[in-house]
Amino acid sequence: MTVVGRSRRKAPNTRGGVRRGGVFIRRLSRFLAVLAGILWGLIFYYSPVLAVAKVEVSGARALNASNIKSSLALEGRGLLDLDVVHIERELEKEPRVKSVDIRRWLPGTVYIDIQERQEAAIWVSGSESFVVDEEGVVLDRSGLVSDIPIIVDKSGALPVPGDLVNSETVLLAKKLSGIFPERFGTGIRELEYRKDRGLLVLTVKGWLVAFGGSEDLAFKLDSLQAMEPHMVQACPTGYYVDLRYGYNPFFRCI
User: Is residue 243 within 8 Å of residue 223, measured between CB atoms?
Assistant: yes
- Is the domain of 58 the same as that of 164? no
Rounded to whole angstroms, the Cα distance separating 159 from 130 reads 8
pLDDT score, position 222: 96
- Is residue 89 domain-resident? yes
Query: Looking at the 3D structure of the chain, how many domains does it have?
Result: 3
CATH of the domain at 203: 3.40.50.11690
- Is the domain of 241 the same as that of 139? yes
pLDDT score, position 151: 96
- Is the domain of 164 the same as that of 206? yes
- Is the domain of 189 the same as that of 206? yes
The 10s digit of each residue's pLDDT in 103-129 is 998 888 999 999 999 999 999 998 899
- Is the domain of 197 the same as that of 226? yes
What is the percentage of the chain residues whose pLDDT exceeds 90?
62
Tell me the mean pLDDT in the region 212-224: 95
CATH of the domain at 70: 3.10.20.310
pLDDT tier at 2, thresholds 50, 70, 90: very low
Phi, psi of 101 (to 5 degrees): -130, 120
- The whole-angstrom distance between residue 208's C-alpha and the CA centroid of its chain comes to 36
- Is the domain of 78 the same as that of 198? no
Lowest average pLDDT, out of 63-67, 122-126, 137-141, 245-249, goes to 245-249
251 contacts: CB under 8 Å, gap ≥ 6: 227, 231, 234, 235, 239, 240, 241, 242
- Is the domain of 136 the same as that of 69? no
Q: Which of 1-5, 36-40, 211-215 has the highest mean pLDDT?
A: 211-215
- Say whether pLDDT at 45 is over 70: no
- Is residue 13 domain-resident? no
pLDDT tier at 91, thresholds 50, 70, 90: very high
Q: Which domain-ending residue is among 116, 143, 163?
A: 116
Beta bridge partners of residue 248, listed in sequence order: none
- Is the domain of 109 the same as that of 204? no
- Is residue 14 domain-resident? no
pLDDT tier at 3, thresholds 50, 70, 90: very low
Largest CA distance in the chain: 158
- Is the domain of 152 the same as that of 232? yes
- Is residue 1 domain-resident? no
- Is the domain of 132 the same as that of 240? yes
> Which is nearest to 128 in space by CA: 97, 160, 81?
160
- Is residue 240 domain-resident? yes
pLDDT tier at 254, thresholds 50, 70, 90: confident
- Say whether pLDDT at 200 is over 90: yes
- The whole-angstrom distance between residue 230's C-alpha and the CA centroid of its chain comes to 47
Sign of the C-alpha dihedral, residues 236, 239, 245, 246? positive
- Say whether pLDDT at 1 is over 50: no
Q: Which domain-ending residue is among 66, 98, 116?
A: 116
- Is the domain of 213 the same as that of 130? yes
Rounded to whole angstroms, the Cα distance separating 212 from 201 reads 10
Three-class secondary structure of residue 82 per DSSP? coil
- Is the domain of 88 the same as that of 38? no
Task: State which amino acid sits at residue 178.
Answer: G
Rounded (5°) CA angle 128-123-180? 135
User: Is residue 62 within 8 Å of residue 116, measured between CB atoms?
Assistant: yes
Q: Which domain-ending residue is among 45, 63, 79?
A: 45
Compute the mean pLDDT over every residue in the chain, rounded to the nearest whole number: 85
pLDDT score, position 157: 81
Range of the domain at 34: 19-45
